Structure 1
Amino acid sequence: MNIIELISKEFEAEAVTTRKMLERVPADKLKWQPHPKSMTMEQLTVHIAELPSWISMALHTSELDFASQPYEPTIVNDTQDLLNVFEKSLADGRKALQEAKEEDLLPTWVLRNGDQIYATMTKYEVIRHSLSQTIHHRAQLGVYLRLLDIPIPGSYGPSADEPGF
């Protein structure tokens, strides 16, 4: 198995859990936030839903410059909109992986804001970072859901709400 096959396998497994979490987001709580320093539910979940598209971005560009390409999050009105964003991002990431070759993972990719460089990574590292970010923010979403008393699905095993995983 090569690296792209391994990434693809992980990508698909994480997508199943991410979808289960996003399906639980109630439309009437999109503007909710647990603390003034926290993202709203909408900001957090749109970010999670968009992260799979980072794979395509990494493989097809050499950088992301917020100065020349300011981030504009997708606006969602309900849970179905959110799931549509996720499925589109997932399809973009999946297609990019299917078309990639091992050597496509090696070039350098830069995250910047004009002259300020935030990170310089290989394209492989950007893909790994997007998967890690998905897992990290999905756990954060789990806290949001718990605070709202919304049952949390199992991820890597059972949850307190789904013990029979």
Structure 2
Amino acid sequence: MYTSSIQKNILAELNHELAQTRKTIERVPFERADYKPHPKSMSLWQLATHVVNLLAFKTLFVTHDSRDFLDPNAPKPGPTPTSLDELLARFDEYSATLRQALSESDDEKLTHNFKLHRGEHVVFDYPKGTAIRIMGLNHSIHHRGQLTVYLRMLDIPVPGLYGPSADEK
């Protein structure tokens, strides 16, 4: 159902994308963690971990007003997971935290700006709702798409994300 609430629309989109992302991550073969389709590419495990860690970053957009990449005291994700079970547990934990933060927010709070910067260099300064959409959802969807290419190249069936995939027909 359509709603004019920014918060409810973002939460609905987030819930849909989280379900699709989890389906993709479930298929990542840990035994192929070092796989890279190109020397400049992230490894399969780096990419899968990045997709999961972006969830914590999205939570920052909701709960804070800025993030300085040069701040040594800024929150950072935990150590790299050493199994698919650990990665999925982190995904579930970060997803729940993000959902809760968004549920506790409201439209007015989502219009406040979030500034991402590296010292004096401003990467972006957007309303929180926009930051969540652009650097949160869109960024994650981009990397999830890369992850599906890795799966295809490893001959692992790709899940359908917006309808059936070629592997599900």
Which position in structure 1 is the counterpart of 2:59? 56
Contact kept? 2:53, 2:77, Cα under 8 Å? no
The aligned amino acid for 2:68 is D
Q: In the alignment, which residue of structure 2 is the partner of 1:159? A: 165
Partner letter of residue 154 of structure 2? L
Q: TM-score, normalised by structure 1?
A: 0.92
SS in structure 1 at match of 2:23: helix
Partners of 1:151 and 1:85 in 2: how far apart?
23
Report how far residue 53 of structure 1 moved.
2.5
C-alpha distance in 2 between matches for 1:18 and 1:114: 32
Structure 1 partner of 2:119: 114
Single out whichever of 145-154 and 60-69 deviates more from structure 2.
Answer: 60-69
What value does the CA root-mean-square deviation take over the aligned residues? 1.5
Percent identical: 38
Which ranges of 4 or more aligned residues in structure 1 deviate by more than 3 Å? 69-74
Residue 34 (structure 1) aligns with: 37
* Alignment partner of 1:77 is 2:82: yes
Instruction: State the match for 2:151 in structure 1.
Output: 145
Letter in structure 1 aligned against 2:89 = N
Deviations, residues 105-154 of structure 1 (Å, cap 9, x unaligned): 11111111112211111111111020111111110000101111111010
What is the CA–CA distance in structure 1 between the aligned matches of 2:118 and 2:97, rounded to whole Å?
24
Please give the TM-score of this superposition, normalised by the length of structure 2. 0.90
> 2: distance between equivalents of 1:40 and 1:108?
34
Trace 1:85-100 onto structure 2 (pairs within 5 A): 85-100=90-105
Corresponding residue of 1:11:
14
Q: Using a 3 Å threshold, how does the CA distance of structure 1 residues 83 and 89 change in structure 2: closer, same or farther?
A: same
CA distance in 2, matches of 1:74, 1:157: 34
Matched to 2:102, the amino acid is L
Q: Give, in whole Å, the separation in 2 of the partners of 1:72 and 1:13.
A: 23
The aligned residue for residue 68 of structure 2 is 65
Q: CA deviation at 1:73?
A: 6.2
